[in-house]
Structure 1
């Protein structure tokens, strides 16, 4: 029997079904999406996975996060390698109620939601729903305030993550319901996250064939992302454009393209 991966990066690759070469290629593609030329090799990934090996620098960690679909805020908050999907090693963050709240709520919830997304990408609907339910339970049963570094995670985030998983599973109707619910729950202060959530909502509508509604939501998201200077969000929303190209006469599509060109 093959040995199970032990390094957190190897575990994350295993959850996503990626070889070291696949991850290296994913990093290269992530850099291209950011209009940068950067890449790595299977050998370098192997170095990162060695016990006590050198950690990737901050730029490469952002690219790795893009490959695994991890929020960059989580990368900054947890540090290497604790932000990687599937990593369940404890983090030295203090003692008492703070650690108890972390382990019993936010941390377990984040691990479950990341595992759920990986399972959805692999088409494992039953296991995906199990982890989504576990994440929801962890949030709902928290008995103390979470540490400041992960206080951003809320039922709104979990609802949208659930929607993203359902999109990956091909269940676009329930996905739209979850994402719409998440957008409604989001505090007004989190405009950057709102722009991302709206982009997910537009994507789900696009998959359902509701082109006019999707284009309207995408335009709203793009205007918001441009206003707050969220360049990554702008790229993410602009990447929806090919889905509208076959529908130039549908209401809202030309308006969306005009916003993209602005």
Structure 2
């Protein structure tokens, strides 16, 4: 099996010739050396290698086994401090877009890429964001290889690609192959075509936008390695064009993924760099809101409220420029619900519940996937308020919606709440929810 699709813990033990049972014994021995006990067995190691995060003590014992400083295990994101966890990120440069796009396409078409963990370390992603924030682009050169790229073909792709990008989630699930094909076509034209710098710029604009859309498709399917590589590839194309707002968008998506996977510190580091070189108020509002979510997940109340305040002011700010397409959907509904989710993380449940409900009411019918996510937030807020019946109703609506539009990520959000619903087996709606979630 390709080592790049192994979980870093599996990779670390395999390069040392260790089975899961071997590693479990070594962890127990590390605990005994500290005068403590660990109940680790090969089954628990398997869970860690398929997405479960070890507790603080277990991470300390694992660090002992691999001779890694204890502070790394306690201060760096799991599992990125493990040996071999870093995968090389292609650095930004004048000729970096094509290799990044080729690597992203390979990952996107790889049926084995079904692991629920990131293959890039937080430090590698933050370094990429720092490079983007501190480097300048160079003019695109005229490509002299291959056949001449027909301008009519480029125009046709420019007209059809946005139509595919704008499809509602329920329809986009039927157009995945078309989106993949459009991206592949654009990449091949960049790689093999003879084109002027102006045509190259138009192609890279499409490559960045299509990479973003295809990445979100892979992310929704749980294919996190492919999603990350596609967002990174889009960043390279945006950088080649000098499109700072689009570059910030792609970094913002990488940060969103990091938060989703439970690495808010990495997300905050990426977003802080993305915010240094994006200027449109709506774009800044969205990035500040994601930064607030990352701070809230870390329990930083002051930083969370500061970012929310900036997000509110930025969204309300007038701008003579058109809103970038990638954040044109950003609205008061998103601000309300994500602020509510921040407050949930900070324990401000009543106010959080009110904001989430308000945001739900503001959301237009066209954004069903977002509605499904918001409904799970609403369900969680009802659970926090000891209102299991209302929570079940919201969760069931989310589940039905997600299954109808083909949104596995939303389905998983509901399933993640099931253990909390199982604490209230007699409450109205919960037996039906448990049955639907198990189907």
Question: Taking structure 1 as the reference length, what is the TM-score of the superposition?
Answer: 0.70
- CA deviation digits over 1:89-115, x for unaligned, max 9? 426xxxxxxxxxxx2411221232122
1-structure distance, mates of 2:374, 2:116: 28
Name which of structure 1's ranges 150-159 and 44-53 shifts more when overlaid on structure 2: 44-53
Residues 150-208 of structure 1, C-alpha deviations (whole Å, 9 max, x = no match): 10111111111101100110011111111111111101000010000001100111111
Of residues 104, 117, 124, the one that matches 2:293 is: 117
Check if 1:60 corresponds to 2:225. yes
Q: How does 1:45-194 map to 2 (within 5 A)?
A: 45-46=123-124, 49=127, 59-60=224-225, 62=227, 78-80=249-251, 84-86=270-272, 87-90=274-277, 103-144=279-320, 145-194=322-371
Compute the displacement of 1:18 (Å).
Answer: 5.7
C-alpha separation in 2, matches of 1:261 and 1:76: 40
**Contact between 2:249 and 2:283, CA under 8 Å: does it hold in 1?**
no
Distance in 2, matches of 1:214 and 1:47, equals 36
2:396 maps to 1:219: yes
Structure 1 gaps of 5+ residues are 1-16, 29-33, 65-73, 92-102
Aligned to 2:199: none
- How many angstroms does 1:134 deviate by? 1.3
Alpha carbons 1:77, 1:149 under 8 Å: kept? no
Superposition deviation, residue 23 in structure 1: 4.4
Return the alpha-carbon distance in structure 2 between the equivalents of residues 126 and 205 of structure 1: 25
1:251 partner SS:
coil
Distance of 1:48 and 1:122 partners within structure 2: 17
Which residue among 398, 409, 426 is the counterpart of 1:249?
Answer: 426
Pairwise CA RMSD: 3.4
**Aligned mates of 1:202, 1:82 — CA distance in 2:** 25
Task: Give yes or no for contact 1:24–1:39 (8 Å, CA) kept in 2.
Answer: no
Deviations 1:2-27 (A, max 9, x none): xxxxxxxxxxxxxxx962655468xx
Count of residues paired in the alignment = 215
* Preserved contact between residue 248 and residue 277 of structure 2 (Cα < 8 Å): no
1:8 aligns with none
In structure 2, stretches of 5+ residues that fail to align are 1-73, 86-112, 133-214, 216-223, 230-244, 255-269
Cα distance in 2 for partners of 1:226, 1:82 equals: 24
Helix, strand or coil at the partner of 2:275? coil
Q: Distance in 1 between matches of 2:427 and 2:131?
A: 56
Residue in 2 that maps onto 1:98: none
**Which has the higher Rg, Structure 1 or Structure 2?**
2
C-alpha separation between the residues in 1 aligned to 2:415 and 2:424?
16
Contact 2:283–2:324 (CA<8 Å) still a contact in 1? no
What is the CA deviation profile of residues 208-229 of structure 1, one whole-angstrom value per residue up to 9, with x for unaligned ones? 1100100111001100000001
CA distance in structure 2 between the aligned counterparts of 1:257 and 1:183, rounded to whole angstroms: 24
TM-score by length of 2: 0.43
CA gap of 1:176–1:88, structure 2 versus 1, over 3 A, is same
